[in-house]
C-alpha cells in the first residue's frame, strides 16, 4: 500500500463546475495535510494546508479532512481553465523533522 494515494486522473470537469480531488494516507500518526498545485514544467505551489478534522475554506478552495477515515480532499469551486494542473497531496507527521510524503498527484483538466 502506498503511503499517500491519489487517483492519477485526468479528472475532466467543465468550466464553472466543482472539481473534487481526493487523497488517502496510511499513517494514522499524520498530523498535517497539504495541497500543492503543479503546472506542467513548473514547481509545486502551495494552495492550502489543514491540520484539524473538518473543512477549511480559502477563496474558491476548500480542504476537507477526516482523520478517522484517513482521507483528505480538495474542492475547487467555479473551476477555471487556469486551474488545469496536477494537484499534489502531501502528508506530514510530527517527530524528528518535518518530513512530507507526497502522492503522485491528480491531473485536473477544466474545459471551456
Q: Quick one: 76 or 90, whose CB is closer to another protein?
A: 90
CB atoms within 10 A of CB 76: 23
> Among 17-25, 56-64, 70-78, 102-110, which window interacts with another protein (CB under 8 A)?
102-110
Q: What is 9-43 written as a DSSP string?
A: --EEEETTSPEEEEEEES-TTEEEEEEEEE-TTS-
Q: Which of 1, 28, 68, 96 binds another protein (CB under 8 A)?
A: 96
From residue 62, alpha-carbon distances to 4, 20, 99 in Å are 19, 10, 24
Q: Which of 17, 75, 104, 109 touches another protein by CB under 8 A?
A: 104
Residue span binding another protein (CB under 8 A) among the ranges 12-20, 45-53, 58-66, 76-84: 45-53
54 binds another protein (CB under 8 A): no
- The HSE-up count of residue 99 (CA atoms within 13 Å, CB side) is 10
Residue 53 in contact with another protein, rule: CB under 8 A: no
Amino acid at each position: 500500500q502506498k503511503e499517500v494515494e491519489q487517483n492519477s486522473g485526468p479528472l475532466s470537469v467543465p468550466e464553472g463546475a466543482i472539481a473534487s480531488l481526493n487523497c488517502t494516507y496510511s499513517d494514522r500518526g499524520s498530523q498535517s495535510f497539504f495541497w500543492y498545485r503543479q503546472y506542467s514544467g513548473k514547481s509545486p505551489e502551495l494552495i492550502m494546508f489543514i491540520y484539524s478534522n473538518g473543512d477549511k475554506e480559502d477563496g474558491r478552495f476548500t480542504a476537507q479532512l477526516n482523520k478517522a477515515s484517513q482521507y483528505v480532499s480538495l474542492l475547487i469551486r467555479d473551476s477555471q481553465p487556469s486551474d488545469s494542473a496536477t494537484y499534489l497531496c502531501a502528508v506530514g507527521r510530527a517527530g524528528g523533522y518535518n518530513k512530507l510524503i507526497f502522492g503522485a498527484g491528480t491531473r485536473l483538466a477544466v474545459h471551456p
